[in-house]
Amino acid sequence: MKCMINTKGIAGCGGKIGLALASALWLASCAVNDGPYAGSDAYIAPGEALASPSVKADSSPRPRKAAQERPGLATGFGESTRSPWNRQSFVRASSKPAGTGVIYYNNREGIDAMTGYKSKVDGIQTAAGNMVEWGIKGGFGFLPTYDTYRNSKRFVVGKRDGSYSIYLKNRCKSRLEVVLSVDGLDVIDGKTAGFSKRGYVIAPDETLEVKGWRTSPDTVARFKFSTVSGSYANLAHGEHRNVGVIGLAVFTEKGVDPWTWMPDEVNDRMTANPFARVP
């Protein structure tokens, strides 16, 4: 199926709003019948639910601040940049992910308010049973990353108007499919995140840098730290409950054992001692 939407004319008449509209039309045109999201209507709660499937939504009514009143950072719709996407067929071993991960982000003041006692850690961490490495990169390397001893959550410090990308590395000797969410939205189709969405397929030992919201097979709109009111989630969907969270879900391939020849096993082989003492 080919997508026949003319995005150039629409984007040119309305700046970022035009680009967002063009992207929405492109995604809609690609999601008919045989598109990559056909049959993926299953819904799960966004944001925390992507990282923690056991979390149940709180149905009790609570007053919610308007977007323009909320402090801290969210993710906006930045400038367009080239980022070709090579779609690949991938049959999942299970409809449930083999592992998940979550990173929270905010400005310095917001992180201090959220975390209390914390320690600075390496910007790259493993997730999903050590199958992947991932982290959040800014303009000059990985953004400041912190870990809390209380609940082992990860937090990243950003600055308003700064662009960022999600860095991923497949540590397995088999392909993996990775579904990503930002602010509770799927990074490929811009709609509510869920495990049924298709993701990026990463080859063994390869890295991938996801720079933004996908707007076409060849381009993305950069992830850009914004106000809550200026976030893509608020402008496109009128929803800002789940801003400040980045989720990851990893799927293994059917008929393939991803745990064979993981880095720990390879290291043990390479460091085997031919004259070790008998136990």
pLDDT in tens, the chain (279 residues): 344 333 433 343 445 555 554 554 445 444 333 322 233 333 233 333 333 333 333 444 556 789 888 999 999 999 999 999 989 999 999 999 999 999 999 999 999 999 877 899 999 999 999 999 999 999 889 999 999 876 679 999 999 999 999 999 999 989 999 999 999 999 999 999 999 999 999 999 999 999 999 999 999 999 999 999 999 999 999 999 999 999 999 999 999 988 777 777 777 888 888 887 766
Instruction: Give the list of residues 6+ apart from residue 66 with CB closer than 8 angstroms, or none.
Output: 229
Judged by DSSP in three states, 15 sits in helix
pLDDT at 250: 98
Task: Round to the nearest angstrom and report the end-to-end CA distance of the chain.
Answer: 63
Instruction: Kindly tell me the sign of the dihedral angle through the C-alpha atoms of 139, 141, 144, 145.
Output: positive
Structure tokens at 56: 């149940």
Please tell me the distance from the alpha carbon of residue 72 to that of residue 87, in angstroms, as a whole number. 35
Instruction: Give the list of residues 6+ apart from residue 113 with CB closer than 8 angstroms, or none.
Output: none
What's the DSSP call for residue 278?
Answer: P
Structure tokens at 175: 């392909």
Beta strands in the chain (DSSP E): 74-82, 99-106, 119-121, 125-127, 132-138, 141-142, 145-147, 154-157, 163-170, 176-182, 185-186, 200-202, 207-210, 212-214, 219-226, 245-252
- Show the DSSP H helices in 220-262 as ranges: 232-237
Please tell me the distance from the alpha carbon of residue 35 to that of residue 29, in angstroms, as a whole number. 8
Instruction: Give the list of residues 6+ apart from residue 13 with CB closer than 8 angstroms, or none.
Output: none
pLDDT at 64: 73
- Between vectors from CA 39 to CA 35 and to CA 42, what angle results, nearest 5°? 130
User: Which pTM does this prediction carry?
Assistant: 0.75
What's the number of CA atoms in the CB half-sphere (13 Å) around residue 206? 12
Burial class (CB in 10 A: 0-12, 13-18, 19+), 116: exposed
Query: How remote is the C-alpha of 78 from its chain's centroid?
Result: 16
Instruction: Kindly tell me the sign of the dihedral angle through the C-alpha atoms of 210, 235, 238, 244.
Output: positive
